[in-house]
Chains A and B, each alone.
Chain A
């Protein structure tokens, strides 16, 4: 991934982010997603097995990421209820509970990074907590698992199409036109999904 600008600018962005600077947030998120995307591309390239085996899980987060990047990236950073923020938050939560579990098993290994401390009271994770550190291949695996799991939980294929398209960056209006149903219905279904995903984070 391109990171010639170095950590210095990242530090600045982080500072800006805490100050509520929308541009800094956007840059951080863009950096985060572009490294995720290149990780995803590497993984797609290197995977010889056919992707995913379970029939209910039909889309991988990798494909959505790549399509989204191709369609023009992530412009909607400011909306904290956007599905991809929620997905990120859910993933983070799972990763942390996994770390906690492992730590409980191996008492000696207690070193946790600053960011691994999860706020429990709200689903509104601090932004730097979600995108402040570049993702690792493990993040991607976990993201992948959570995405597939969440898609599998949806009631029917209409819901899945809506979520996937939304993750790929299409507007409610565009999805409504494609599915031939009212825009309001898309918004209603998205709200329902958000509600369930937020519940996942706070539970």
Chain B
């Protein structure tokens, strides 16, 4: 076992600076999502730490406002937080990112010709300065690469590139006036366009789809102009698109992306030269692969999509490296704008196809389609399939035809999808396979890997993978999550989750079931599985299975009764306590929402931490039916003694199911995570609602309703319905703990997964 983190202030308490740091993270995360969190509210909740916190928050907000093109003043903050003025006054607010010393980056030899005014930008490539060209009497923008990033041999190459870019003459491309070397520093002189750039512009104004299509068409035409001359931008992003006074877009920084400082992501082992959010899959994948014009098409599609929805496209967005604390999903609270016209969405979809072959061949083709849209003509982009069209129609019909007819339509759609093999399967067959290594401690185990459906999280035993060899094994697997069963001879086995990443640059999770390591060939190795000894079941209650368990309730339409087979399993007599959790994981969760409780109380953790802890103790989480199977046998809770606080695990005594070892607390104390995803209850399963939230982000919690989950426990029957289920986002909540189970037998064949699809 590795010696996991023990915070210097002891496992149960975060130090003050850690707390401040967490608060700052969540504040900054909210800022990055375009929300307007208020410093005032946060410092009130910080209590004694408020002064230290304020100093941090003010500086973060200051920086982000500058980045967004605002011009915040120090006085404004002094006034806004007048009680703290004495502290704030001492802060070294920087009017420009980087501050005073940056002046020195401008080569002195240039000073004779250019009068440098101020720094107007900085990035991975270098700094940009507004200046006056005294020879030609005009305002220019001078770009200077970071000296230490441009190795000697590269200067010539860089100048060649600048020369090529200087040949571009297009009304929507910022002209290169001049370039050269002064002293030891290379520089490029650009036409000056005041801006804002698109990144700043989207924050300030809400554009309509037509306006966005107009910008898109112009940019696409300009890109095509450059592509015809053999120049690919490679790092197109909102910050590189500048608007002039007439709202005409201008592209800047052609061909410079490759000179931006390459930085190796220490965790993903990927080279991130450029802005990952807008980079095409071929750029993200390849190092040294020659990236063609269609990478720019991809980037433009991504940018338009962002302008239309206000949502930054997924994987690799810099913000996603920061774990959101308050909000759960990074996009759940992103502002949604007016609905996107379908044809415009189609254009974006085609431009951002993963495969180069499916994208627009040229930027011009994309421009033509955008112009067609503006004229109200149908676009040429691949029409949607009949299934997708039916889905869309069904969604829009929902408002008009009422819920019952809507359900009928959905059933029809489901039928069509079933008959045609479904959209997912068509896509699935085209998916790549990853070469993965998996080992166990001790080695020599038989492995069974059961894929989880990517949409519903349900186990798919008919698609299980059973390598012939014993561990350690190497095998090719489709990306996705798997339940992995590792069984040794005798009765030792373990059931854990492992993830095969689709995108190697995707952020890794914190816990071992979400991690992997990749080598330069794209092969991955997964964390090894530690198979517990058979004594792991000591102290667990044996729960005999049933072939005809009535789950759900006769009287409920939300959880209607249906019959299921439940395999025998073992269950812990109570929830995992704080003490046990710390013993296994090294510390309590470092999360702002963690509620400190005594060692003998149930620990409250996020879903993934629960899965990780269960794996480390050699067990797993129950699914919602296993939980219900036993919870339905609880003694009815005594409503007269409603406690207002959670008690130690095993309390109250009357909430027990008598087995060989009594099981406590299924319908009292904290609510509990199950491993089931938040999808409709099985009888409704083929009426999958088109829901806004993805089931991936939610898990079913049992044993307490929302009041319990929020940390206000009661034991009355209404709050503790053993049949009730509730989908909760995976983050930490004050009233959700977990307990562990183990299958009685290792599940090694499809027959060991009875009715996993529900019936």
Chain A residues with a Cβ under 8 A of chain B: 50, 53-59, 64, 67, 71-72, 149, 152-158, 160-161, 164-165, 168, 170, 173-174, 177-185, 188-189, 191-192, 195-196, 199
Confirm or deny: B21 has a beta carbon within 8 angstroms of a beta carbon on chain A. Answer: yes
Chain B residues contacting A71 (CB-CB under 8 Å) are: 148
Chain A residues contacting B5 (CB-CB under 8 Å) are 152-155
* Contact indicator B56/A184 (Cβ below 8 Å): yes
Residue of B whose beta carbon sits closest to that of A55: B527
- Residues in B with CB closer than 8 Å to A155 are 5, 18, 590
Q: Chain A: which residue is nearest B8 at the CB level? A: A199
B263 in contact with A165 (CB, 8 Å) = yes
Chain A residues with CB below 8 A from B24, complex form: 185, 188
Of A149, A165, A184, A196, which is in contact with the most chain B CB atoms at under 10 Å from its CB? A184
Contacts of B267 in A (CB 8 A): 58-59, 157, 160-161
Q: Given the complex, which residues of A lie within 8 Å of B32, measured CB to CB? A: 180-181
Q: Could you tell me which residues of chain B, from 56 to 98, have a CB within 8 Å of some CB in chain A? A: 56, 59-60, 63-64, 97-98
Q: Would you mind naming 11 contact pairs between A and B with Cβ atoms under 8 Å apart?
A: A67-B264, A152-B3, A153-B5, A158-B321, A158-B323, A165-B263, A173-B97, A177-B124, A180-B32, A181-B32, A184-B59
- Give the nearest-CB partner of B59 in chain A: A184
Residues of A within 8 A of B266 (CB): 58-59, 64, 160-161, 164-165
Report how far A72 CA is from B148 CA in the complex, Å. Answer: 8
Name B225-274 residues within 8 Å CB distance of A: 261, 263-267, 272
CB distance from A203 to the nearest CB of B (A): 8
Q: Given the known inter-chain contacts A55-B517, A59-B266, A157-B510, please indicate yes or no for A184 contacting B63, CB distance below 8 A.
A: yes
For B322, list chain A residues within 8 Å (CB): 158, 179, 181
**Interface: B522 (CB within 8 A):** no
B420 to chain A: closest CB distance in Å? 40
Closest 7 CB pairs of A and B: A180-B318, A164-B266, A55-B527, A153-B5, A182-B63, A184-B59, A182-B60
Contact check, A182 vs B28: say whether CB atoms are below 8 A apart.
yes
Min Cβ gap B525→A in Å is 7
Given A165-B266, A184-B56: A173 touches B122 (CB 8 Å cut-off): yes
Q: How far is the CA of A178 from the CA of B262 in the complex (A)?
A: 10
Asked if B4 CB lies within 8 Å of chain A CBs, one says: yes
Cα distance A68–B322 in the bound complex, in angstroms? 25
Q: In the bound complex, do residue B97 and residue A189 qualify as a contact, i.e. CB atoms below 8 Å apart?
A: no
Chain B, range 267-326, C-beta contacts under 8 Å to A: 267, 272, 317-319, 321-323
Q: How far is the CA of A152 from the CA of B8 in the complex (A)?
A: 14
Specify the main secondary structure of chain A where it touches its partner: helix
Is B528 at the interface (CB under 8 A from chain A)?
yes
Residues of chain B touching chain A, judged by Cβ–Cβ distance below 8 Å, are 2-6, 8, 17-18, 20-21, 24-25, 28, 32, 56, 59-60, 63-64, 97-98, 122-124, 146, 148, 261, 263-267, 272, 317-319, 321-323, 507-508, 510, 512, 515, 517, 519, 525, 527-528, 590
Q: Closest approach, in angstroms, between the C-beta of A140 and any C-beta of chain B? A: 19
> Which residue of the partner chain, among A154, A157, A177, A182, contacts B321 with CB atoms under 8 Å?
A157
**For the complex, what is the distance from the CA of A179 to the CA of B144, rounded to whole Å?**
22
B21–A192 CB distance below 8 A: yes
Instruction: Let me know if B517 and A149 touch, CB within 8 A.
Output: no
B170 to chain A, nearest CB (A): 28
CB-based contact A188/B323 at 8 Å: no
Beyond A55-B515, A59-B266, whether A149 also contacts B323 by CB under 8 A is: no
Return chain B residues, CB-CB under 8 Å to A54.
2
Q: Which A residues are in CB contact (< 8 Å) with B18?
A: 155, 192
Whole-angstrom distance between the Cβ of B3 and the nearest chain A Cβ: 7
Residue of A157, A160, A179, A183 with highest tally of chain B CB at under 10 A: A157
Q: Smallest Cβ distance from B97 to chain A, in angstroms?
A: 7
Cβ distance A64 to chain B, nearest Cβ, rounded Å: 8
Is the beta-carbon distance between A157 and B508 smaller than 8 angstroms?
A: yes
Report A-chain residues with C-beta under 8 Å of the C-beta of B319.
180-181
Do A156 and B4 touch across chains, with their CB atoms under 8 A apart? no
A-side contacts of B60, CB under 8 Å? 182, 184-185
Least Cβ–Cβ distance between A83 and chain B, in angstroms? 13
**Chain A proximity of B508: nearest CB distance (Å):** 7
- Beyond A180-B319, A185-B24, 18 additional contacts (C-beta under 8 Å) are A50-B519, A55-B512, A59-B267, A71-B148, A157-B321, A157-B508, A157-B510, A161-B265, A161-B267, A174-B261, A177-B122, A178-B124, A178-B272, A178-B318, A180-B32, A181-B28, A184-B59, A188-B20
The answer to whether A58 and B21 touch across the interface, beta carbons within 8 angstroms, is no
- Give Cα distance in the complex from A178 to B4, angstroms: 28
Q: With A58-B266, A180-B319, A181-B28 in contact, is A152–B4 under 8 Å at CB?
A: yes
Q: Provide the bound-state CA to CA distance between A71 and B149, in Å.
A: 8
Which residue of chain B lies nearest to A153 when distances are taken between CB atoms in the complex? B5
> Smallest distance from the beta carbon of B627 to chain A beta carbons, Å?
29
Q: Look across to chain B and name the residue whose beta carbon is closest to the beta carbon of A152.
A: B2
Query: For B5, B98, B319, which residue has the most chain A Cβ atoms within 10 angstroms?
Result: B5
Shortest beta-carbon distance from A104 to chain B in Å:
22
Query: What residues of B have a CB within 8 angstroms of the CB of A178 in the complex?
Result: 124, 263, 272, 318
User: How many whole Å from B314's CB to the nearest CB in chain A?
Assistant: 14
Report yes or no: B323 in contact with A183, Cβ–Cβ below 8 A: no
How far, in Å, is B226 (CB) from chain A's closest CB? 25
Q: Provide the bound-state CA to CA distance between A177 and B124, in Å.
A: 7
Q: How far is the CA of A71 from the CA of B150 in the complex (A)?
A: 10
Decide: A179 near B321, CB < 8 A? Known: A59-B266, A192-B21: yes
Min CB distance A171 to B, Å, is 9
Interchain nearest-CB distance for A74 vs B (Å): 13
Residues of B contacting A191 with CB < 8 Å?
Answer: 17
The reply to whether B508 and A53 form a contact with Cβ atoms under 8 Å apart is: no
Residues on A with C-beta less than 8 A from B63 are 182-184
Chain B residue nearest to A184 in the complex (CB): B59
A173 CB contacts on chain B under 8 angstroms: 97-98, 122
CB distance B98 to A177 under 8 Å? Answer: no
With both chains docked as a complex, state the minimum distance between the C-beta of A146 and any C-beta of chain B, in angstroms. 12
Cβ of B20: which chain A residues have Cβ within 8 Å of it?
188
CA separation between A71 and B266, bound complex, in Å? 15
Q: In the bound complex, do residue B124 and residue A188 qualify as a contact, i.e. CB atoms below 8 Å apart?
A: no
Closest to B5 in A: A153
On whether A149 and B56 interact (CB within 8 A), knowing A161-B266, A173-B122, the answer reads no
Q: State whether A192 and B321 are in contact (beta carbons under 8 Å apart), knowing that A157-B507, A182-B64 are contacts in the complex.
A: no
Using Cβ atoms and an 8 Å threshold, which residues of chain A touch B525? 50
Minimum Cβ distance to chain A for residue B296 (Å): 21
Alpha-carbon separation in the docked complex, A57 to B17 (Å): 24
Chain A nearest CB from B612 CB (Å) reads: 11
**Pair A174/B263 contact, Cβ less than 8 Å:** yes
Q: Is the CB of B124 within 8 A of A156?
A: no
